[in-house]
Amino acid sequence: MDLRERLATAVKEAMRAREAGRLSTLRMIGAAIKDREIAARGEGTEVGEGDILALLGRMVKQRQESARAYEAGGRAELAEKERAEIAVIEEFLPQPLTGPEVEAAIAEAIAEVGAGSIRDMGKVMAALKARHSGRMDFGAVGARIKGRLG
């Protein structure tokens, strides 16, 4: 079952179970995907699974930042709401790679593109994003790649 089908099924189940918070988050995900599809139509491209996973990853990061801001402002109830949304969104993301798996993926990507210096970092990142989108934090991976190439 692809991501869109899983989302549609989850919306139906949330409606049947009368889970208002979950349903709201699922509808928000659907609306974000639709917005991305409309934008892609204007560009003459299609939205694939990788694009949706990247979108979901951005949604999680936005909510994490919001939760931190709410906590810093003493708004614990809003921070908790953001965390609940994160939990729902993460159900549709693949499991993140473990530390050793990330290291193996980096080594494989470096070997694949024949990277020998820091100048090849973009090629390595592109290879990793093509294969592991949504499964690793590319901000943290960048430092690891620099360590190996630099």
Q: Which CATH number, 3.40.47.10, 1.10.10.410, 3.40.350.10, 3.40.50.1980, labels domain 99-149?
A: 1.10.10.410
3-90 and 99-149: identical CATH topology = no
Which pLDDT band holds residue 139 (cuts at 50, 70, 90)?
A: confident
Quote the pLDDT of residue 135: 78
Q: Is the pLDDT confidence value at 81 over 90?
A: yes
Instruction: Give the mean model confidence (pLDDT) for residues 133-149.
Output: 80
Whether 128 contacts 141, CB under 8 Å: yes
First to last CA, the chain: 42
Distance CA 53, CA 132 (A): 10
Residue 137: is its pLDDT beyond 80? no
Report helix, strand or coil for 83. helix
Topology of domain 3-90, CATH = Hypothetical Protein Yqey; Chain: A; domain1 (1.10.1510)
Write 21-25 long-range contacts (CB < 8 A, 24+). Answer: 21/81, 21/84, 22/88, 25/84, 25/85, 25/88, 25/89
**Is residue 35 over pLDDT 90?**
yes
